Amino acid sequence: LLDGAELYGTEPLVGHILQRPGSPPREALYLISKAWNTNHAPEHLTAACQASRDALGVDTLDCYMLHWPNAWQHTEPLAGLEALSHEAATARTFPTDADGNPLEAAVDLETTWRAMEALVERGWTRHLGVSNFERDDLNRLLTVADVPPVINQIACHPYAPRTELVGYCQARTDGMR
């Protein structure tokens, strides 16, 4: 399992490693990437997925995920983020108003999820997933999803076991874990 995201800036390096002699065969890997909050609009989501696939050097991801349920205003593509100063990278990834509040985008979850489902139809990803979704977020998503998420990636550790949310996800019969 290689867990990536456009936000991390590591996909070009991982892609380079995957193309090197001696790397594991593609079928031995499970590749995940995630769309950042500024790329929830369908055109930006599609471009972000294409950029991740290109950077990794693959035709198909195993799972493409929404990094968070929140949609923020698009700034610009995140390619090359790792080469920017901290201030420039923060401005690109966390658009805020003068008071430091996130600039939300007028993109609802249904619109974003339809764009995610189109990525499955195109063959760009085998599965869809979400990250940092709470139970209410999942319930809202599952009311509109034709292709439900197979993963809800959350922080879970001894100091925050997230027992209720983990139990909810485990009880789903559609494969979400």
Cβ–Cβ < 8 Å for 42, 106: no
- Residue 11 to residue 52: CA distance in whole angstroms: 7
| b/e per residue 50-62 (b: at least 16 CB within 10 A) | ebbbebbebeebb
Hey, how many other C-beta atoms are within 10 angstroms of the C-beta on 45?
A: 26
Tokens of 126: 């085998």
Q: Which of 8, 30, 159, 168 is catalytic?
A: 8
Can you read off the two tokens belonging to residue 49?
């997925």
Active-site residue 30, yes or no? no
Q: What span, in angstroms and rounded, lies between the C-alpha atoms of 140 and 137?
A: 5
- 176 burial class (0-12, 13-18, 19+ CB within 10 angstroms)? buried
Phi, psi of 35 (to 5 degrees): -85, 135
Positions annotated as catalytic residues are 8
